[in-house]
Chains A and B, each alone.
Chain A
Amino acid sequence: MEQLQHQNPLNAGASAFHSCDICGELIEQLIWPSIDWVDEERGFESTEAINFGWLDSIIENEQCSLCRLVARIFEQTRVKDTDHLGRIYCFFSKTSIRPSTTRKRRNWSIGLDFYYPTVDKKMVPTIWQPSFRLLASDSSAIGIDEEVFELGQALSPGYADAAFLRACFDMCAHAWSCL
């Protein structure tokens, strides 16, 4: 686990590294998250942020699918034409979760924090909160026999998903009988 702790960019400067060799272990960290604190009253636990490394290193690792995912999400959500303050660092955000009985993650919406490693850790402006989700159809692959939350759905390739529209509408409007 020690090797996953990337150097603090505030201390490490340009010598901080990122290697996609560790992406497999990062996935393991996502599945078995380290807990920062516990909210016993509400039954939540807060995960620790996961150090993902310098964005330029991530972007260069085109062969690594996790690096590619993060790089593409950054490109999609970043505000164009903003002034760059230098290199950008990336973390998987802290999140509130309810872990399974086997301590696995059950909440699968993973936020991404991009920031300039200046003293005040200025966040990189984004159009919306960059994040990714596990596909709902893959939720069983985590290997837990409990409810799983905050999952993703692939968008239908054409235009609107008629099944989605109908499902939503039927759920709250089926009492209307004169359609």
Chain B
Amino acid sequence: MNALISQLINLFASVILILAFAMLSQRRIVNLIHLYTWQGLAVVGSTTVVAYVTHQHHLFYSAGLTFLLKVILIPYFLHRLINRLNVRWDIETLFNIPTLMIIGIVLVVFAFNVALPISKFSDTIAHGTLGIALACILLSFLMMITRAKAVPQVIGFLAMENALFLAATSATYGMPMVVELGIALDVLVGILILGVFMFQIREQFDSLDIRHLEKLKED
């Protein structure tokens, strides 16, 4: 039974990794939001399973909170945002997707090897997940680096938060409830601020391309 449960958690983690790769190579903004929603759902799934196995009730609450926040509220907010900004069908030019994915693979190998010694000493049920979570964090970082538009960058940031959350549940069975509530609130406030920020960028430069921010530096 335990083996099956840990496999289930690993499966959820792998789905999150697949979705991280999909986000890395997705051009359409609206699809990015869908992928983010699915990733949130997978995080909820893995948290629920961990909560069920370890009988830690606060993890159930945090799963519920995550669901509320990452599957309903934030995607809803993002959809409204891109409708208001009128970038729903925007397509971003990326440089060569296979190259990006090869860099991604190198990051995955690196992350797995970094995590391997740590997870060997960990006795939690899903110790293998730590490597995947670390890989997801690096991939989201890569996504933020390669994007030039504001909305995908925000989504990259949010995906990174997802991955951190996964790392927290897999390595330590979650953080204390207070910390989690705080983070949830932070993310929500962060996204509100970023939303306002994006409107400001657009008003200033008539575009969401953050390369325009380079003009703001002092000469």
Asked if A pairs with B, the answer is no
